[in-house]
Amino acid sequence: MTIEQSDTRPGGNELGASTVQVRRVGDRQTTAQRLLRSTADRAYHPELDIDWDRPLAPDKGWVMEHRQSLYGTKVWDELTPEQRTELGKHEAVSVLSFGLLAEVGLSMNLMRSILENHVMVDDHCRYALAEVGEETRHSTMFSRLVNKSGVAPYTYPRPFLKALRLVGFLPIGPSSYAGTLLIEEVLDRLQREGAADETVQPHFRQLMKIHVLEEARHITYAREEMVRSMAKHGKAYNAVHRGIFSVMVLSVMPTLINPKVYKSVGISRLRGLIASQASPEYRDRAVFMTEPLLRFCYEAGFIRGAVSSRIMRASRALPDDIIAELKGQKPSTVQE
């Protein structure tokens, strides 16, 4: 199937990329077999499936206006159309730079899970290896598009990158899979919408289509593993992982957009950061990006408990009905 024949539209699937339901998580080898078949049937190669020799379209943008971080603010009103497009390009490069780093981190976690599996010759391991292959190709295409944009990549401080190595010492548990899903599903939501928008650069739209189509499998894999991991561990262990995940949700939006992007249109980092955080559109964007995942996590019993629920609410990403249920102490539907 070609990319053009595939349906990546936002409305194509109301739930987002995956229809995995908490109660329907089945045998992990059976799921892996299905995902391996799909990988063999529908895989793309960004070196060939994106026309990198084609020049950028001068009349196209990078990020839809309503998804840009300053949209709806007074600072936004002061920007010219050209400045808005320029800022959109920098925001796209910031997200791609984050994505590149995140894909490498996700691959490291997958490799660790393979190492920790004593068998190493089953379909579950084979699918994890296939997914690493896809993630490395994704990083390659992200880096190519950053180069194509002409904008320097947004980098992270060296001590932060060194500290990331410590993550390798943490045991893999529910928050590892939930954190993976947070990256994959947030990008999925943004990319389904962007891929369908004809005002966006063709290279970027093609990249988003490829990523959405291949990530659907990764999301199925991680959702099921998250539920299995929760079932394997006790209440206290899961509570710690819920807390870690709530901090991840709190930090995902500020991490995606590096405040240095505002300098591209003459706005100081601090002014841009404050304006974006105070934007009346912030909550809408946060809910849009995370809703399918957070509904899944809530159904799985992974959003509960006084401390982690409070941190999660501070992210402004929880839908109203879940907040109401959490406040009313209404029991959620699931298991620990």
**Contact footprint for Fe ion (CB under 5 A):** 135, 138, 184, 215, 218
Based on its alpha-carbon atoms, the radius of gyration of the chain, rounded to whole angstroms, reads 20
Cα 69 to chain centroid, rounded: 16
Q: Tell me the C-alpha distance between 278 and 187, whole Å.
A: 23
Choice between 86 and 103, CB closer to Fe ion:
103
Nearest distance from C-beta of residue 235 to Fe ion, angstroms: 29
Nearest distance from C-beta of residue 40 to Fe ion, angstroms: 17
Residue whose C-beta lies closest to Fe ion: 218
Nearest distance from C-beta of residue 132 to Fe ion, angstroms: 10
Choice between 91 and 188, CB closer to Fe ion:
188
Query: By 3-state DSSP, what share of the chain in percent is helix, strand and coil, each rounded to 5?
Result: 70, 0, 30
Nearest distance from C-beta of residue 102 to Fe ion, angstroms: 8
Nearest distance from C-beta of residue 245 to Fe ion, angstroms: 17
Q: Tell me the C-alpha distance between 282 and 66, whole Å.
A: 10
- Helices H, strands E: what count in the chain? 13, 0
DSSP-derived 3-state class of residue 200: strand
Choice between 37 and 66, CB closer to Fe ion:
37
Choice between 138 and 209, CB closer to Fe ion:
138
Whole-Å CA distances, 1 to 39, 138, 213: 12, 19, 11
Choice between 135 and 291, CB closer to Fe ion:
135
Q: Tell me the C-alpha distance between 329 and 304, whole Å.
A: 9
166-176 burial, b at 16+ Cβ within 10 Å, e below that, comes to: eeeeeeebbbb
DSSP-derived 3-state class of residue 61: strand
Q: Tell me the C-alpha distance between 176 and 160, whole Å.
A: 19
Nearest distance from C-beta of residue 135 to Fe ion, angstroms: 5
Nearest distance from C-beta of residue 140 to Fe ion, angstroms: 11
Choice between 146 and 273, CB closer to Fe ion:
146
Q: Tell me the C-alpha distance between 130 and 316, whole Å.
A: 35
Choice between 86 and 193, CB closer to Fe ion:
193
